Amino acid sequence: MNVRDLSLLAARGVLGGYLAAHGAQKLFGSFGGHGMAPTVTGFDRLGLHPAPVMARVAAVSELTGGTLTVAGAAHPLGPIALAATMAVAASTHRANGPFAANGGFELPLTNMAAALALAVGGPGRYSFDALSGRSIPRPLVRVVAAGAAVSAAACLTMVLRAKPQPPSGPSNGAEAKEAEEAEQPA
């Protein structure tokens, strides 16, 4: 057993699995998700228009990109889709700063970096592509990567033009306790 291939398998499983589930939350309300209606509302608030289309594109990109990544199939299309989606997701959290504890862009940025590492590092020996002996032709990969970059850039432009919305409520436990105490009568 090769440590590199096992590491790639684990990384694909964690990143792809979580992002596929995140896409299913948006699309179907699975895994405790809220489904498409609230997702569309959120995308509209972020300035991603047309919101119904953009929300579905993000959800399908997460679900299919995650599934392809987990399986190591059609490499590197899955990680490319995830990286582009996470670039936009990271930008939507910019008003909250860099750390997840404050609703910031830490997690989508980390996911994007992991997806890019997988796109470059390959799926490894324990993948559908390696086991089947199939691969995506390089010219097609270049076209898909260019399309993902252009799509992400267009979405980033929309998000950056929209006025950033600050967090809607307290962002950590200490602030929540302070807010709760402030609301209590003296």
pLDDT value for 152:
87
pLDDT at 142: 92
Q: Which residues contact 144 (CB under 8 A, 6 or more apart)?
A: 77, 80
Cα(68)–Cα(90) distance, integer angstroms = 22
DSSP-assigned states of every residue in 18-38: HHHHHHHHHHH-GGG---HHH
CA distance 89 to 170: 21
Find, among 87, 70, 96, the residue nearest to 14 by Cα.
70
Q: What is the pLDDT of residue 94?
A: 86
- Alpha carbon distance 15, 67 (integer Å): 10
Q: Is the pLDDT of residue 158 over 60?
A: yes
Look up residue 90 and give its two tokens. Answer: 């990271």
Q: Are the CB atoms for 27 and 63 separated by under 8 Å?
A: yes
pLDDT at site 75 = 94
pLDDT tens digits for range 9-65: 999 999 999 999 999 999 999 999 999 999 999 999 988 889 999 999 999 999 999
Alpha carbons within 13 angstroms on the beta-carbon side of residue 148 total: 25
| Domain range summary for the chain, segments of one domain joined by + | 3-183
